[in-house]
Structure 1
Amino acid sequence: MAIERKTIRLLILEDSQNEAERLVSLFRNAGRATRVHRLTSSEDLAETLQQPWDLLITAPSSEHLAPHEAITAIRRQAKDLPVIHLTAGNESDDITEALALGAQDAVPQGEDERLILVANRELANLEERRARRAAEVSLREAEKRCQLLLDSSVDAIAYVHDGMHIYANRAYLQLFDYEDGEELEGMPMIDLIDSADQAAFKDLLKNYSSEESASELTCHWVRADGQRFQARMSLSQATYDSEPCIQVVIRNETDNAELEEKLREISSQDLVTGLFNRTHFLELMDAAAQRVVTDGQVATLAYLRVDRYTQLQGEIGLADTDLLLTDLAQLLRKHFGKHAEVARFSDDVFAILLPGIAPEHTIDALKKLLKDVEGNLFDINGRTVQATLSIGVAGLNETTTKAQDAFDRAHRCAEELSDGNGLKLYDPADELAAAANRGNITAIVQQALDNNSFRLLFQPIISLRGDNDEHYEVLLRLVNPKGEEVPPAEFLAAAQESGLGSKLDRWVILNAIKLLADHRSKGNRTRLFINLSSNSLQDPTLLSWLGAALKAARLPSDALAFQLGEADAVTYLKQAKALTQGLAELHCKVSLNQFGCALNPFNTLKHLTVDFVKIDGSFIQDLSQAENQETLKVMLASLHAQAKLTIVPYVESASVLATLWQAGVNYIQGHYLQGPSQSMDYDFSADE
């Protein structure tokens, strides 16, 4: 499954149509869908800039529009359009000049890989800037709505910084008999409090700042006209004009204040157990997630599921099940004490939030809880009932700041304890397994690499010219967590897209070398053909790594032939040239696959050090027609004239064998001869 990327809108300032098309092809080969416009004049630029664009690439020079004029025009219109300037060489003065003009970066013309890396970086930065601007707009709108709510609130609300008023809403002004908020700005709040209660107010502020005490206080207040009244104030952290402050809410004491407090308490409690309910616990989790971001304070969530809950309900009834849950709640309170937030999260689930504690530091306490619950004999209306728990544990930290992620992970851990009475701590590898179970191809590939669970198959490559050597192509297969085979084209594309292609190739090489060394130790003269992805083609460390691997395996280098796809070789011709030369120096063989599909395939071949050429399968289709036979014969004759050994794949019937033999093909491969097998057991002597 390839990663979906949105289409980028690309401007190119380049006089050459062919070079512009090459740049577009470069982006598309890198997996970037593009909408492109080539600039031809300053008027064209002015008109084009009326629409949004994502990136401008400028050539070193242009007869129609100088690059510096284009950059100046963009800056003059204050367009957030990143510019990458291509320079004629790698001179630092040229690069510095481009950056000074306002380009985001300068790249020497022809360094295509570097251009794509720089473009990806600038596109990612542009996306971040756009997201930030959208967030700033949303924030301003939210602040406006909050301000309207404050101004229209029936509660008296003020914002206080260092004990001074910085804002007061209309209700607050009316409560203290002030006509204008400017009269209160800068006034110490303590001036509105009766002298008898000022000491208590100072203590409240002191303790509130250190979070050691309650944030509410009932005291006597003094209005502007000298009248006194009693009211209760509550304090909470807030931000006003981007500055941290304290929000003060004042409500007149009424006869039903105690009732309101009771209702507020009840609204946060589970009616059966007296613990926090789901809604309130979610608020606590959100607050803990916020503290991770603002204060760096970690927290741990323990997800406790009562085992055999449905069976217990059937055995003791609904009413007695509630009594059991109440007793369990008391046990949890006693076990965790005041430092933990305990809730009944659903019918059979309790949730524990442990602020300031990392998950690995909770294991001993949770294991003790498991033993305590298992060993406890619950007396339910004269009947003894035993219960056990399954506990899943996950943390909130700098890499996991979303409360929902912690819930999902802890829940999965608890559900995986099918036998119950156990504890499972979230492991990041579980995330990979979960993604693999959901069918994410990249996750399945990564999991197979981690678990060494790929399979290698071998398909014989058979000589039509009496060659006695044993040749096999190594093919890779992958099975998903459901036991289904993933189509190779699908998982290989996903591996390449996610940057795992090189790791995958090295896994194949190492495991193929091990099997080949064992196979050759039995007297077989076997050569394996191993496919390399475009990721490996661009990997400068591959050759040194391969040399060390061959030396360690004590395997002759020519026992391996590495296969490159023609399309990859055309796209990365410079790297392919260096790689094939390096492989030749190691005495490894090289094969060019899918040959014949490029505009000028023989031109590509001139730059590569190649021993074998495997013809593209499209040339084998419908060989009954004379013109198709002639096309294949001409291609093969040209290859043989260059001393290349030819391979024709996809031989599916006997009818084409005579044509291929007459055309001079060296080797054939296909299901007619033998399909891929787990063993290298083909009888090559039978074809002599």
Structure 2
Amino acid sequence: RLLILEDSKNEAERINSLFRNSGYATRAHRITSLDNLNEALKSTWDLCIAAYHSDNIAPLIALKSIQRMARDISFIQLTENNSSDYLTKSLELGAQDAVPQGEDERLILVAKRELANLEERRARRAAEIALHEAEKRCKLLLESSMDAIAYVHDGMHVYANAPYLQLFGYADADEMEGMPMIDLIASPDQSRFKDFLRHYRSEEGSAELMCSGITATAQTFQAKMSFSPAQYDGEPCVQVVIRVTSGNTELEEKLREISSQDLVTGLYNRQHFLERLDAAAERAVNAGQSASVAYIKIDHYAALQADLGLAGIDILLADLANSLRQQFKSNSQIARFADDAFCVLSSDVTPEQLKPELLDLIKKTELQLFDINGRTAQTTLTIGVAGLNEKTSKAANVLKRAHDCVDQLPQGNALKLHNPADDLAAAASRGDVIAMVQQALDKNNFKLLFQPIISLRGDQDELYEVLLRLVNPKGEEVPPAEFLHAAVSAGLAEKIDRWVLLNSIKLLTEHRSKGNQTRFFIHLSSASLQDPSLLPWLTRALKASRLPADSIILQIRETDAVAYLKQAKQLAEGLHALHCQIALGQFGCTLNPYNTLKHMHIDFVKIDGSFIK
């Protein structure tokens, strides 16, 4: 939904068509007056694009009206030129961006970004409302629960519900608030309780402890305490649930154990495994504890079931479960996840570390002869593995990745590890430029070109300018204008610069070893200009390659040198100390170009191309 502040109907329609041609199902409205805008703001809109001038209503008034009505509408101001002052002023006034009139591709990219930001803001607000409602429901459940529940932070009570207070004989929650939990434990068990708390960390998930509690009247009772991570008033804490034990403790424990088991194999069932997987995902994000999930599929399960029958297939499943128990260590949790699949969750290991164990399992299973009521049966396994780390947003995504790996092995009897680079490759095939840049860095898919620089005086030195090209998944070259800006915005410019420097040094070292006196001009971005670690890194690279330092000339843009003059001056001094040289590119584009030369010692000046056209 698009608001357009533009006097010309034709221009407004052109902007509307521009979005439609870019794949947006646009519903547009042209603003003709302040009253018209106020009426339109009664509905929901996503973007407002304002011409740099309008006789109907000034863009600033339109922006203020949107702000006054507190509408979340991204405001994009079109400008007469590419003046940074006008851009800054527009941003200060509250516009999300300013785009020069006529730069349609840039306008679409800015709009795409703002629509994504708008979607994130709306999703966040919806999540905050849902969280608030969930917290209200949780509080009501806590107050109405028959279980004794408390929240403890650093060993102190911060909340206790009525059953918890009654259990320990306290009439008022204020008496309990701030009380150390150790005071509610009987003296014989206090030492054991302290040891438990010392070793327990909330990010480790749930844990249980049997001990004796003591009431305000000094009466003791046996209690089973369950500890789990939680939050109270936005602060991390531990939830404690206490259940007074009865004479049927062993029976209760048995029932609890059965509720989490698969009856055929004795392994964990699907529901319990998903709970463990969610807890592992939380630990991966909050505590950085890595883990791996293996999805183990029984090959040709339907044919085996038809051949062995229901009773026979159950025997096979039980034997496979025993094999899994013997194969995996105590830090692994094994479950029967589906009729034809098991899952294994292994803590503190990466998929690569788990690989040898899984390959051994595949080999053993292939060679094993299963005795099914006197008959011999054989089967094989296909395994997919995915890792949990600090980037894991949803446990279900990890399980899906492992399952997808299995689907990619139709022949069976094989293992595949999920490679995060596969996700980048998929995004790159959809035209995601940032993903293509990241993939190129990871797989060395950039290409270097060398443009000769000819001396008009007939000097014998060979000079080349190093140019960078990106190759997309279709094998086509992507122009620098299309990916360098995206790389800068994504924080990848420094990595690209170092990739270019390192590969240029390697190629130049090999070329000069044949007796050539070649030198390279290598471009640096503004990000590298501000990077204090660049010079030490370059020193090590030149020393390792034994390349003469004067064989490379680092080139920075004049506009970057003006914007970061102090850093540019330090870089020039550092390069000269290394006996490298520095060039100033696109010279002559600033208001006072010669002023830069007063502050920096420059070896080469490259005149901007506009002066020779």
Q: TM tier, shorter chain?
A: 0.5 to 0.7
Q: Which residue of 2 aligns with 1:175?
A: 167
Indicate which of 164, 167, 177 corresponds to 2:156. Answer: 164
1:18 and 1:204, CA in 2 relative to 1: closer, same or farther beyond 3 A?
same
- Alignment of 1:325 with 2:312, yes or no, is no
Distance 2:277 2:350 in 1: 15
Unaligned 5+ segments in structure 2 are 440-470, 485-613
CA distance, structure 2, for counterparts of residue 441 and residue 400 of structure 1: 22
Question: 1:279 corresponds to which letter in structure 2?
Answer: Q
Q: Aligned pair in 2 of structure 1 residues 210, 97: CA closer, same or farther (>3 Å)?
A: closer
Alignment partner, residue 184 of structure 1: 176
Deviates more, 1:134-143 or 1:200-209: 200-209
Structure 1: stretches of 5+ with no match in the other structure: 1-8, 451-501, 511-534, 542-688
How far apart are residue 434 of structure 1 and its match?
11
Q: Aligned partners of 2:483 and 2:341: how far apart in 1?
A: 54
**Aligned residue among 35, 38, 53 for 2:30:** 38
Q: Is 1:89 matched with 2:75?
A: no
Superposed, 1:146-295 pairs within 5 Å as 146-209=138-201, 215-295=207-287
2:70 aligned partner, one-letter code: A
2:84 pairs with 1:63: no
1:521 matched residue in structure 2: none
Distance 1:27 1:248 in 2: 55
The aligned residue for residue 349 of structure 1 is 341
| Alpha-carbon distance in structure 2 between the residues aligned to 1:214 and 1:104 | 45
When residues 286 and 59 of structure 1 are mapped into structure 2, their CA distance, relative to the original with a 3 A threshold, is: same
Given candidates 347, 360, 365, the residue that maps to 1:373 is 365
In the alignment, the residues of structure 2 paired with residue 431 and residue 197 of structure 1 have an alpha-carbon distance, to the nearest angstrom, of: 52
> Contact 2:261–2:267 (CA<8 Å) still a contact in 1?
yes
Conserved? CA contact 1:204–1:214, under 8 Å: no
Match of residue 136, structure 1, among 115, 118, 128 = 128
Report the 3-state secondary structure (helix = DSSP H, G, I; strand = E; otherwise coil) of the residue aligned with 1:34: coil
Partner SS, residue 47 of structure 1 = helix
1 CA distance for matches of 2:160 and 2:219?
A: 19
**For residues 145 and 56 of structure 2, what CA distance do their matches in structure 1 show?**
62
Deviation at 1:305, TM superposition (A): 2.7
- What amino acid sits opposite 1:148 in the alignment? L
Distance (whole Å) between structure 1 residues aligned to residue 261 and residue 173 of structure 2:
39
**Root mean square deviation of aligned Cα:** 3.6
Deviations 1:594-621 (A, max 9, x none): xxxxxxxxxxxxxxxxxxxxxxxxxxxx
SS of the residue corresponding to residue 285 of structure 1 reads helix
How far did 1:50 drift?
Answer: 1.7
**Match for residue 74 of structure 1?**
66
**SS at the partner of 2:27?**
strand
Q: Deviations over 1:412-459 (max 9, x none)?
A: 443554554333334579889999xxxx9999xx9xxx9xxxxxxxxx
- The equivalences for 1:482-521 within 5 A come to none
- Quote the offset at 1:68 in angstroms: 1.7
Paired position in structure 2 for 1:567? none
Q: Distance in 2 between matches of 1:95 and 1:430?
A: 39
Distance 1:412 1:16, change over 3 A: closer
Aligned partners of 1:207 and 1:213 also within 8 Å: no
| Structure showing greater Rg | 1
Preserved contact between residue 190 and residue 198 of structure 1 (Cα < 8 Å): yes
Helix, strand or coil: the match of 2:416? Answer: strand
C-alpha displacement of 1:129: 0.4
Following the alignment from structure 2 to structure 1, what is the Cα–Cα distance between the partners of residues 305 and 112?
Answer: 58
Cα displacement (A) at 1:114: 1.6
| Residues 203 and 229 in structure 2, CA contact (< 8 A), matched pair in contact too | no
TM superposition shift of 1:86 = 1.7
Distance 2:195 2:315 in 1: 43
C-alpha contact 1:292 1:396 (8 A) present in aligned 2: yes
What is the TM-score normalised by the length of structure 2? 0.66
Q: Distance in 2 between matches of 1:505 and 1:374?
A: 40
Residue 88 of structure 1: CA displacement? 2.0
Q: Give 3-state SS (helix, strand or coil) of 1:15's partner.
A: coil
Residues 230 and 364 (structure 1), Cα distance of their counterparts in 2 relative to 1, 3 Å cut: closer
SS at 2:328's partner residue? helix
- Higher relative contact order (CA closer than 8 Å, sequence separation 6+): 1
Task: Identify which range, 157-166 or 53-62, moves more after superposition.
Answer: 53-62
> Matched residues in 1 for 2:396 and 2:472: separation?
33
Label 1:506 to 1:49 Cα distance change in 2 as closer, same or farther (>3 A). Answer: same
- Other structure's SS at 2:72 match: coil
1:41 to partner: Cα distance:
2.3
Give, in whole Å, the separation in 2 of the partners of 1:93 and 1:316.
79
- Contact 1:230–1:252, Cα closer than 8 Å, also in 2: yes
TM-score between the two structures when normalised by the length of structure 1: 0.59
Q: Does 1:99 align with 2:105?
A: no
> 1:120 maps to which residue?
112
User: How far has the Cα of 1:311 moved from its partner?
Assistant: 4.6
Instruction: Out of 36-45 and 161-170, give the one that drifted further.
Output: 36-45
Code of the aligned partner of 1:187: M
Q: Give the aligned residue type for 1:107.
A: V
SS in 2 for 1:265: helix
Residues 43 and 336 of structure 1: CA distance in aligned 2, closer, same or farther (over 3 Å)? same
What is the aligned-residue identity percentage?
59
Letter in 2 for 1:136: E
Which AA in structure 2 matches 1:58?
A: A
**Counterpart in 1 of 2:563?**
none
Write out aligned runs for 1:431-580 (5 A): none
Is the Cα contact below 8 Å between 2:12 and 2:30 reproduced in 1? yes
Q: Which amino acid aligns with 2:63?
A: I
Q: 1:167 to 1:18 in 2, by over 3 A?
A: same
- Partners of 1:433 and 1:104 in 2: CA distance: 31
Query: Are 2:289 and 2:389, in contact at CA under 8 Å, matched by a contact in 1?
Result: yes
Q: Distance in 1 between matches of 2:293 and 2:183?
A: 44
- Relative distance call for 1:400 and 1:165 in structure 2 (3 A) is closer
Aligned length, in residue pairs: 450
- Superposed displacement of residue 386, structure 1: 4.0
CA contact (8 A) 2:202 2:229 kept: no
Tell me the CA shift for residue 211 of structure 1.
7.5
Distance in 2 between residues matched to 1:160 and 1:142, nearest whole Å: 20
